[in-house]
Structure 1
Amino acid sequence: MNIFYLLIGVSLLAALIFLGAFIWAVRSGQFDDNETPSMRVLFDDDDVEQTSDKEEENNKK
């Protein structure tokens, strides 16, 4: 039964370590993406054209 207490303690310690690493990564800017938003303009977006075509057809009716 004592092994369960040890396993619970070790798993809580591991969870706290991973939580600390995640918080550190967020605060240090690991998930900031400054390049992609400026590149979105360069990609064609076919979904917008299809949506506008469908809206035009619905407006004609």
Structure 2
Amino acid sequence: MSGLLILIPVALFLGALGLGAFLWSLRSGQFEDLDGAAHRILSDDDGPLDEPDNTPRK
């Protein structure tokens, strides 16, 4: 029974901490562009790779 006196406030604190982190992420714009990262990984905007230098080394 005395364990509940510790576990209940800890659980309430962790729940409030999680809610605070979620509200912070909403206010800071973390959920503004959900599809952007999915489309950005498919876009091929990289240039061609440089050819290796085939000159003999001394």
Relative to the length of structure 1, the TM-score reads: 0.53
Unaligned runs of 5+ in 2: 40-58
Unaligned runs of 5+ in 1: 40-61
Describe the shift of the 1:31–1:5 C-alpha distance in structure 2 as closer, same or farther (beyond 3 A): same
Partner AA of 2:5 in structure 1: Y
User: Following the alignment from structure 1 to structure 2, what is the Cα–Cα distance between the partners of residues 25 and 15?
Assistant: 15
Partner AA of 2:7 in structure 1: L
Seq. identity, %: 43
State the match for 2:2 in structure 1: 2
Deviations 1:10-51 (A, max 9, x none): 000000000000000000000001875xx7xxxxxxxxxxxx
RMSD of aligned Cα (Å)? 2.0
State the match for 1:25 in structure 2: 25
Count of equivalent residues: 37
